[in-house]
């Protein structure tokens, strides 16, 4: 992919279902890296995904996915896109290898290639040992991995994951999230994750798109979006803090204590943060937690979707 070429480019996309406006002018550009797709229910996420997968023609606007036109080259798009649906889906009576190879074939792979690739992909997602078992015997975590396998079998350049950790126990969740992170580190697979679990998005994605009421409410690199302009640090300490707090205030900081014993320190622009540690050393206070405050994704979401 040459520089300047984005994986997804959408301009002014509009769509209505009868009288209901689902998408009201969506502009989107996505390049490398994993991107999280967020939004309240009814924001237009599913409609957007349908248009990106080439199922719906937008009423207005144009776009390209992987360089293919979303109106004219829908088939070509679907050949290079993998979709991992939210719901359980399987075909009873098949085993994992047959299942995965079958869908590889339907994506356009030659039969033998599909079979070979199915084995590889099943090992990759961790189903190697159970790939000859019937799908009805699979647990929830295994079914989730199977869905990922069928999305990967034809080596897509764009991967859509819809609620990839739903119904998984804590172990299953970490395993799928690790897989997603691993895939997204491959520079040439664009991963788009739609999820309501913000910690998952924070773990796997470097970019986010927040949709609300059919429009893009926020878009960009996660780190950049969460950045706050002024110097604010969050701390947890152990020890007698009275002297510590006074020392900081004397240097010109403003200190707040939140519930849950988190300390927030607003630093003046010309003060180095090492001064916090100097004061702590002086007053014999342990600093057990120290981070530069950023907006949490949750707060960012609430802000952009503008509610409560």
Q: Provide, rounded to whole angstroms, the least separation between the CB of residue 29 and another protein.
A: 22
Sign of CA dihedral 100, 106, 111, 116: negative
CB nearer to another protein: give 33 or 172.
172
Tokens of 143: 């079914």
Q: Provide, rounded to whole angstroms, the least separation between the CB of residue 177 and another protein.
A: 10
CB nearer to another protein: give 18 or 92.
92
Q: Provide, rounded to whole angstroms, the least separation between the CB of residue 40 and another protein.
A: 5
Q: Provide, rounded to whole angstroms, the least separation between the CB of residue 266 and another protein.
A: 17
d(CA 123, CA 134): 16
What residues form DSSP beta bridges with 159? 82, 191
CB nearer to another protein: give 69 or 86.
86
CB nearer to another protein: give 186 or 246.
186
Residue 137 phi/psi, 5-degree rounding, is: -90, 0
DSSP secondary structure letters along 119-146 = HHHHHHTT-GGGTTSBGGG--HHHHHHH
Tokens of 19: 């009288």
Q: Provide, rounded to whole angstroms, the least separation between the CB of residue 69 and another protein.
A: 15
Dihedral over alpha carbons 229, 231, 235, 241 (to 10 degrees): -140
CA distance between the termini of the chain: 43
Q: Provide, rounded to whole angstroms, the least separation between the CB of residue 166 and another protein.
A: 8
CB nearer to another protein: give 30 or 148.
148
CB nearer to another protein: give 30 or 51.
51
DSSP reduced 3-state for 149: helix
Element (H, E) at 264: strand 263-266
């Amino acid at each position: 992919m040459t520089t300047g070429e984005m994986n997804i480019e959408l301009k002014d996309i509009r769509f209505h279902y009868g009288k209901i406006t689902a998408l009201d002018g969506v502009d989107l550009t996505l390049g490398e890296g994993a991107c999280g797709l967020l939004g309240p229910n009814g924001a237009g996420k599913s409609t957007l995904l349908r248009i990106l997968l080439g199922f719906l023609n937008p009423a207005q606007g144009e776009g390209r996915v992987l360089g293919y036109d979303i109106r004219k080259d829908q088939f070509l798009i679907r050949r290079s896109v993998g979709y991992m649906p939210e719901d359980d889906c399987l075909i009873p009576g098949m085993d994992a290898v047959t299942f995965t190879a079958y869908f590889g074939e339907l994506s356009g792979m030659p039969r033998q290639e599909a079979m070979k690739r199915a084995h590889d992909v099943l090992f990759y997602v961790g189903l190697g040992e159970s790939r000859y078992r019937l799908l009805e015997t699979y647990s929830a975590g295994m079914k989730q991995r199977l869905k990922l396998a069928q999305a990967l079998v034809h080596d897509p350049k764009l991967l859509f994951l819809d609620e990839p950790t739903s119904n998984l126990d804590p172990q299953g969740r970490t395993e799928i999230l690790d897989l997603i992170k691993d895939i997204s580190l491959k520079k040439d697979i664009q991963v788009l994750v739609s999820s309501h679990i913000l910690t998952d998005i924070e773990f796997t994605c470097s970019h986010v798109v927040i949709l609300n009421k059919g429009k893009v409410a926020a878009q960009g690199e996660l780190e950049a979006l969460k950045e706050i302009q002024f110097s604010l640090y969050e701390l947890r300490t152990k020890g007698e803090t009275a002297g510590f707090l006074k020392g900081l205030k004397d240097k010109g900081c403003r200190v707040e204590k939140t519930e849950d014993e988190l300390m927030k320190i607003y630093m003046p622009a010309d003060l180095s943060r090492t001064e916090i540690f100097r004061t702590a050393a002086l007053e014999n206070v342990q600093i057990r937690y120290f981070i530069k405050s950023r907006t949490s994704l949750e707060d960012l979401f609430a802000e952009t979707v503008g509610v409560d």
